[in-house]
Structure 1
Amino acid sequence: MTRPGTARRARRPRGLLLAVPAFAALALSACSSGTAGTPHSPAGTSGAPATGRATSAPASGAPATASSSTASGPAKTVHVSSLEGDGGTYGVGMPIVLRFTPAPTDSSAFTKAATVTVNGQPANGAWYWEQTTADEKKTNTYEAHYRPKGYWPPNATIAVKLPIGGLSAGKGLVYSDKLTSITFQTGDAHVSTVDGQTETMRVTSNGRLVKTLKVSLGKAQTPTYTGTKVVMQKGEANPSGSGLRPDGAVRMVGTDPNDRYNLIVPWSVRVTMSGEYVHAASWNGGNIGVRSTSNGCTNLNVGDAKWFYKFSQIGDVVTYSNTGGTKMPSWDGFGDWNVPWGMWAQGGLLLNH
């Protein structure tokens, strides 16, 4: 039987580090969703992206609008929305992700005004500005991602204050005043370590080993990315529009003429935009724990995959080594932790930062 895996997206030019667009459709690939969707909330009750608290925001959660005038005359309003849902719970690897439309041209006023605290104390992290991948379609949207130097502490309260309404976002641009704050929690620190040499995944919670699972990673022709990945989606939306597919299932499609498939694969946890999953692989039991034979995904025995799916939360960390692959690009999902801190702290792409 064929083995669902992952088909790589075209590589981005070096020097332009891009991250997964917060609200863009996920890529359709050999080991990806057949029905495009967005990262699911931890509750897994909706395929819609979470939005932060917005004063007088529409009930739909769509970004609110603001006046486009300032004391100095008319200016275009930069609308701001949040990937994190206010009051939500996420894993310790989840970056704060804000999306700005149209794109600011100067981030200095935002950076000075915005604050992030952990349990009431300064987070001492940094904002990193990126052109969203959705800008392939010329949507003129930027994202600002925030993370500390290390992972968030477990079971902590993260508060983001955004007193940015009316501040300059560059010449002729001002920020909307609708999104003023976001508060969310971290859950237990779920950090899993996958080793391609031993074909194992060690799963920890708050530093304690919970389970060691057998895996099969990408074969030599389609190796699994190394580096730090973050759980970005559990299962996928049901095409019927009623919640999620049952049993954490995802449609995976292979278009290689020599390896075509169109399967519904249960207990699937997405860790890259380009289509790497940790998922059940009943067809590959003889290789799991022995050798790497997938098209890039992390294959688990069905019982282990079901357990991992239920254990996981959006924002959990999964690190990979000894896979034979290159490091996961920062733009291919929540690859923020693969950007060295010294580079991250410089602030990314915007000028006058």
Structure 2
Amino acid sequence: MLAAAGLALSACSSGGGGGHDASGPSRAPAGKHSPSPSPKPTGAPVHVSLLEGDGNTYGVGMPIIVYFNKAITDAAAFEKAAKVTVNGQPAGGAWYFQHSGRSDQALEGHYRPEKYWPGHAKIEMKLPVKGLSAGPGLVFDDSLTLSIATGPANVSAVDCSAEKMVVTSDGKTVKTLPTSCGAAKTPTYYGTKVVMQKGEADPKTGKMRPDGTVNMVSDNPADPYNLMVPWSVRITNSGEYVHSASWNGGNIGRRSTSNGCTNLNVDDAKWFYGFAQVGDVVTYKNTGGNEMREWDGYGDWNVPWSTWQQGGSVKSAH
């Protein structure tokens, strides 16, 4: 399972020298001037790393995420060098830069196309940025490549007023699941979310807990809890999950009573856990809450395309 670094504490919450020529220097033909080579930029090194791993398969909502250990101030050289293709053709996407949710990184750049990636596709990125300028006094210190794939186009739509989740794959409805969304005082965020993680590792052993179990904790004096919740699929950094809720069976399919998560009956949650891929899309409407922000996990699709193309915190060169 892909585990995103820097995740918030798990809890339902509301709304990555050349040699010398022995014959001596050559001379330019008479009447012509030899072009002077552009000086190579110098400065503090900026290291680039990736969230995704080569050979992995993701859902169609997964952005390509690049981490920078220092905040770049000029993305022109980076954007010009970066080449992303889908099945060998230019992806036509754009980069958006924002403060990193990881404590060990200063900035992250997200790349996505205007619409979701196609399902069952091969996505490749070449990022030959080593030695290029990242802004005054900053130089990229490495180059990267990436080769990943998308699986089936799984898109689930949750309507919190109807208390149901319609699950589709490659455009066909697979299942309709009853839900219980966030209560009025702890509403679920609306908008487009992306599966970030399935289950979690036990911090004591580093091994994944069985049955997709997540330890969900709240220190809110008005509603404290410390629960081990099986079949948990994370969809926001702030703590929203789609998960089993054996304690809430009387409300699932009838009314919204959760602390912001999407409650499912146990069998349905187990099925959805097995079905879901990291990068799958889950949309929400009629939640009574605020819109999910782009920095709260992989909220990239909530940014209008015209705004996305402007580049976020580092303005785009396009």
TM-score normalised by length of structure 2: 0.88
Gaps of 5+ in 1: 1-21, 33-50, 52-69
Q: What are the residue-to-residue correspondences of 1:197-276 with 2, within 5 Å?
A: 197-276=161-240
Q: Which amino acid aligns with 1:131?
A: H
SS at match of 2:219: strand
- Does residue 130 in structure 1 map to residue 98 in structure 2? yes
More displaced, 234-243 or 88-97?
234-243
Deviation at 1:133, TM superposition (A): 3.2
- Does residue 335 in structure 1 map to residue 276 in structure 2? no
Q: 1:105 aligns with which of 68, 73, 80?
A: 73
Contact 1:30 1:255 in 2 (8 A): no
- Does residue 157 in structure 1 map to residue 125 in structure 2? no
Q: 1:313 aligns with which of 277, 288, 298?
A: 277
Report what 1:143 is aligned to: 108
Q: Which amino acid aligns with 1:94?
A: M
Q: 2:254 aligns with which of 266, 273, 290?
A: 290
Report what 2:30 is aligned to: none
Deviation at 1:241, TM superposition (A): 2.1
Contact 1:99 1:144 in 2 (8 A): yes
Deviation at 1:257, TM superposition (A): 1.9
Gaps of 5+ in 2: 17-37
Q: Distance in 1 between matches of 2:167 and 2:150?
A: 18
CA offset digits 1:103-158 (Å, max 9, x no partner): 11110001111010000000011011112134xx6x66111100000000001000
Query: CA 1:188 to 1:23, structure 2 compared with 1: closer, same or farther past 3 Å?
Result: closer
Q: Distance in 2 between matches of 1:284 and 1:225?
A: 20
Q: 1:194 aligns with which of 148, 151, 158?
A: 158
Deviation at 1:322, TM superposition (A): 0.6
More displaced, 234-243 or 84-93?
234-243
More displaced, 299-308 or 236-245?
236-245
Deviation at 1:256, TM superposition (A): 2.1
- Does residue 94 in structure 1 map to residue 62 in structure 2? yes
Q: Distance in 2 between matches of 1:342 and 1:71?
A: 35
Query: CA 1:123 to 1:222, structure 2 compared with 1: closer, same or farther past 3 Å?
Result: same
- How many residues are paired up? 292
Q: What are the residue-to-residue correspondences of 1:57-72 with 2, within 5 Å?
A: 72=40
- Does residue 82 in structure 1 map to residue 50 in structure 2? yes
Q: Distance in 2 between matches of 1:242 and 1:129?
A: 31
Give the % identical residues.
63
Q: Which amino acid aligns with 1:297?
A: C
CA offset digits 1:163-203 (Å, max 9, x no partner): 111111111211122x4210100000000000011100000
The ranges of structure 1 where at least 4 consecutive aligned residues each deviate by more than 4 angstroms after the TM superposition are: 70-74
SS at match of 1:262: strand
SS at match of 1:247: helix
SS at match of 1:327: coil
Q: Which amino acid aligns with 1:172?
A: G
Q: Whose Rg is larger?
A: 2
Q: Distance in 2 between matches of 1:315 and 1:73?
A: 37
Q: Which amino acid aligns with 2:6?
A: A
SS at match of 2:237: coil
Q: Distance in 2 between matches of 1:192 and 1:303?
A: 17
Report what 1:172 is aligned to: 137
Q: 2:265 aligns with which of 277, 296, 301?
A: 301
Q: Distance in 2 between matches of 1:228 and 1:331?
A: 12
